[in-house]
Amino acid sequence: MKLNEKVEIVAKKCILVPYEPCHVEKYHKWMEDEEIRRLTGSERLTIEEEYEMQRNWREDEDKLTFIVLSKEKELDETSRMLGDVNLFISKSTSSEDESEEVTEGEVEIMIAEASGRGKGIGEEAVSLIISWAYKNLSIRVFRARITDDNTPSLSLFEKKLGFNRIKHSSAFKEYTLELPQDRLDSHF
């Protein structure tokens, strides 16, 4: 997304950087893993399609994508890649006032590298993108859709980040979760 093309967010456990062409080959290798594609709801792409996707996401006005990097300074950036965190932005009408338009963000996180899992990096990356979008894009509604058998992601969003389940789709075998407004206002 053009809005984050020059944004780098440095935190305690990770660094978020824009998704650049130099990241595509490693990202493509991650997406060759059938289980990662299943859990993220992604399709298998050729390397050429992956480069095209990166270009499209870079120019898109309704997607915010960061690559999650470890903070290991001795490694080059590609070697430090752990996953990505995304926000898909949309507009809807408020349930209280049908004439009021609300900007919503659907959050996705993928920590593809096993070495980055179970260390709080995913939690920090999701918190960072929510905080950045809340402050810079005035997004006030944050949701996530997670496959119903993805226990680590459900635990992350519910127990650690405070999201609540609001809907289940039997057809897609996924839950929709939402961050309550009071939690958003007090933590982000």
Q: What range defines the domain where residue 16 resides? A: 9-187
What CATH code is carried by the domain that includes residue 72? 3.40.630.30
Residue 2 lies in a domain: no
Q: What is the pLDDT of residues 21-60, one digit of tens each?
A: 999 999 999 999 999 999 888 999 999 999 999 999 888 8
Interatomic CA distance for residues 142 and 158, integer angstroms: 13
pLDDT value of residue 75: 87
Domain count, the chain: 1
Alpha helix (H) residue ranges in the chain: 24-31, 34-40, 47-59, 121-136, 151-155, 181-187
Kindly state whether residue 4 falls inside one of the protein's structural domains: no
Whether this prediction's pTM lies above 0.85 is answered by: yes
- Whether residue 62 is contained in a domain is answered as yes
Q: What are the structure tokens assigned to 97, written together?
A: 């006032």
| pLDDT for residue 95 | 61
Q: Look at residue 3 and tell me if it is in a domain.
A: no
pLDDT (tens digit, 9 = 90+) per residue, 82-112?
Answer: 999 999 999 876 666 666 788 899 999 999 9
Does a structural domain hold residue 1? no
Does residue 143 lie in a domain region? Answer: yes
163, pLDDT greater than 90: yes
